[in-house]
Amino acid sequence: MQPAGLGIRIGTPMRRVEDGRFLRGAGRFVDDHAAFGAAYLVVLRSPHAAARITGIDADAARAMPGVLLVLTAAEIAELGVLRCVTPRHRRDGRPIAQTPWRMLAGDQVRYVGDAVAAVVAESRAAAQDAAEAIQVEYAPLPAVTDIAEAVRPGAPAVWPDLAPDNESFLFRLGDAAAVEAGFARAAHVIRHEFRITRVSANPMEPRNALATYDPMEERYTLVTGTQLPHVMRNEIAEFALNIPSNRLRIISPDVGGGFGMKESPFQEYVLCLHAAKLLGRPVRWTATRTESFLSDSHARDNLSTAELALDAEGNFLAFRVRTLCNLGAYLAWQGPVSSTNNVGGLAGVYRTPAICTEVRGIFTHTQPTAPYRGAGRPEAIFAIERCIDLAADATGIDRAELRRRNMIPPEAMPFRTGLDYTYDSGDFPRNQALALEAVDWAGFAARRADSASRGRLRGLGLANAVESAGGPHRGPMEEAAEIRFDSGGSATLLMGSHNHGQGHETVFRQIAAEKLGIPPERLRVVCGDTDLVTHGRGTIGSRSMMAAGGALVGAAAKIIERGRKIAAHFLEADEADIEFDVSAEKGGIFRVAGTDHGIGIEALAKRSYVPGALPMGEELGLAALLVTRPGDATFPNGCHVCEVEIDPETGETALLRYVVVDDVGTVINPLLVKGQIHGGIAQGFGQVFGEAIRYDSDGQILTASFQDYPMPRAGDLCFMEVISNPVPTATNPLGVKGAGEAGTVGALPALLSAVVDALHPLGVRDIEMPATPERVWQAIRAADGTAAPVWQAPGA
């Protein structure tokens, strides 16, 4: 058992308080919320990637037993649209056009899974049967799903009236002339074309919704697992339902994983709310696993060309990257974010003086893409780190030495990179030195020889990662925290940041315990309810500790300031003589300076509500609300080193060792940081070794189940060693930098680097993701001249 009390403070590895209910199966997720008389909604989805809808006959469905409501586009004309909130521009300078993503498609469908009709019935089975009875007449059209094909002349047009060549926007950043000059004087130029595969988030809890409507208040309530309750409330109320935001309440209870996908509004949520109003009863919707593959937003799916220029000594002179980004058929709520907001990460941890990039957002007949863990940072670090590996091979300079030679030294901080970012702190060389020592980089040759003696190929991967977390590069990122003492003297923390696996309930208690001197077990944490929490930006972009944690520190300071005034009255002293002290023995105490005359913070809060205890006209109670914004982005960074072994007979790769040295600034809870890093690495592993959404030539998704879309299992992973090298930042009160996405950002290039290094003795210099056993086996056969034809699924 872990002891309670004030020994649990910032920096202490406190176990997650949430785990007690989760391990007992007592978590309360959306489907655990009871709703008497709830009906069930099922969505009919398009079987075509591109087609005109020439007719819909729903009469038979409406007449089926148990059916309460059938909706098509014609019946919901009063509803608004799902909009894109990320401002970008077209090639001619005009703003990107908003694609009309309606709740149900009316005249045309643009991807397999596009919502066409909705049925509400007494049971899910009845709704499903009725949905299948709806007759939809389609006139199929040519479709394009591959991003390289979508930009070719004559490619099928997703939105003919919006852009030629399916281009939605053109985004440029950096000094192209300086980059060109760098390449002109280069002794070595490395050019690398690569794809970042399309993936699906696949959280343990699928997307779902429970909607109710109160006709007396004319007010809706939506219970759904979302990362951004307040933001989603405003979006759905104002732009989909066309009502004031105070007429919609969103409750986001326990959430079984989000990973960025659950930050967006979705059609099913609006349909449930609308149906609840029409029927006067609650309406539920829960996605099946296959439906999730067809309706959740996808992520990544980029095609890039990266070029690195070096001088004769291996110094980086210039770097440029051109990227085609697959947006899918519609602009998702923050669709362009992943491809554009974090391109500054292309600078990596290096002194490259000139960098430029060009990103083209391209429409295809596929599901819309949106942010997913890392949101552009893994792609950026993959580009620079893979080019460095190739440069090391071309120049003959050791991979680690080439990186060290070009790293930004700690004494250069703050450092303005060659592209967009200014790093405020960090010790990149020490990250790498600690990682190489921990993995025994020097002893790898002996381990490789041992593997070879057993007929195996052994590889060592290396990548340095840095990312922008939680700051202005993602737009306005204010956050709210409220500390509210009740008349019994107990304190509740009302946080705008939402917990969906990170351990917020634990870590916010730790922060408040240290600042206010209240044992963590006596603090209650509330989040995810727009009626209870005044405001919140939510949980995205590795921002919770810097934004919400910083707001909590500020709210605690306001509590102390207010408490000193109240304590001065109770202790009959001048306010200037009141000091606040926190001790492990007595907790938080307001006392008269130089004396032992004092009052505890909880006792003071209780007395602050007593009628007549405070002077007439003085505000009663003890509470503080702070909505604030961090001073700037932070830049978590680290070094990833991993070791793999490949069986050349099967192409199967085994992960043997993984070491990460990470700088996430001040570490609030080491256990939670390690858990976040482990989870991020696991998701990176999944993408490198198997995860990929694939389509056939007609736009049919080929990977719509876990039979075809392989997720990483516990047995695929090894023990992951996380070593902390914290360099606190001055941009927020806690000195934290963010940890939620750090593992994924470095995992993609490190893991693929290890696979390529294992195949390097055979002459293999690169391999595309995912590095499946089949793909690795084919690379080995091609390298040794024994290539044999292997059946491959269409579109693979």
Q: Report residue 394's pLDDT band, with 50, 70 and 90 as the boundaries.
A: very high
- Domain 424-474+632-796 class in CATH: alpha beta
Which CATH number is 36-141+205-295 given? Answer: 3.90.1170.50
What average pLDDT does range 61-78 have in this prediction?
Answer: 97
Closest to 216 measured CA to CA, from 277, 273, 138, 263: 277
pLDDT over threshold 80, residue 6: no
Residue 694 pLDDT: 97
Strand 587-592 relative to strand 578-583, pairing: antiparallel
3-state secondary structure at position 12: coil
Tell me the pLDDT tens digit for each residue of 306-337.
999 999 999 999 999 999 999 999 999 988 88
pLDDT over threshold 50, residue 366: yes
Residue carrying the six token digits 């902390």: 724
CA quadruple 726, 730, 731, 733: dihedral positive or negative? positive
Residue 255's alpha-carbon distances to 29, 206, 228, 373, 499, in angstroms, are 6, 9, 12, 16, 7
Q: Do domains 19-26+478-628 and 142-197+300-395 have the same CATH topology?
A: yes
Strands of the 479-485 sheet, one edge to the other? 523-526, 491-495, 479-485, 623-628
Residue 5 pLDDT: 53
pLDDT over threshold 50, residue 590: yes
pLDDT over threshold 60, residue 397: yes
3-state secondary structure at position 392: helix
Which CATH number is 142-197+300-395 given? Answer: 3.30.365.10
pTM to 2 decimals? 0.94
Tell me the pLDDT tens digit for each residue of 110-119.
999 999 999 9
Q: Report residue 788's pLDDT band, with 50, 70 and 90 as the boundaries.
A: very low
Q: Report residue 162's pLDDT band, with 50, 70 and 90 as the boundaries.
A: confident
Residue 84's alpha-carbon distances to 60, 92, 97, 329, in angstroms, are 36, 19, 9, 13
d(CA 790, CA 761): 23
Residue 229 pLDDT: 96
d(CA 379, CA 683): 14
Distance of CA 683 to the CA centre of its chain: 11
Looking at 3.40.50.150, 3.40.109.10, 3.40.50.2300, 3.30.365.10, the CATH number of the domain 19-26+478-628 comes to 3.30.365.10
CA quadruple 260, 266, 272, 274: dihedral positive or negative? positive
Q: Which is more confidently placed, 102 or 792?
A: 102
What is the Rg, in whole angstroms, of the alpha carbon atoms belonging to the chain? 28
d(CA 567, CA 604): 7
Ranges of each domain in the chain: 19-26+478-628, 36-141+205-295, 142-197+300-395, 424-474+632-796
Residue 786 pLDDT: 63
Helices then strands, each counted (H, E), the chain: 19, 30
Tell me the pLDDT tens digit for each residue of 240-296.
999 999 999 999 999 999 998 999 999 999 999 999 999 999 999 999 999 999 999
Tell me the pLDDT tens digit for each residue of 197-245.
999 999 999 999 999 999 999 999 999 999 999 999 999 999 999 999 9
Tell me the pLDDT tens digit for each residue of 471-526.
654 444 789 999 999 999 999 999 999 988 899 999 999 999 999 999 998 999 99
pLDDT over threshold 70, residue 795: no
Residue 1 pLDDT: 30
For residues 427 and 662, is the Cβ–Cβ distance under 8 A? no
Tell me the pLDDT tens digit for each residue of 42-56.
999 999 999 999 999
- Average pLDDT, rounded, for the chain: 94
Structure tokens that stand for 305 in this block: 């060309």
3-state secondary structure at position 222: strand
Residue 789 pLDDT: 38
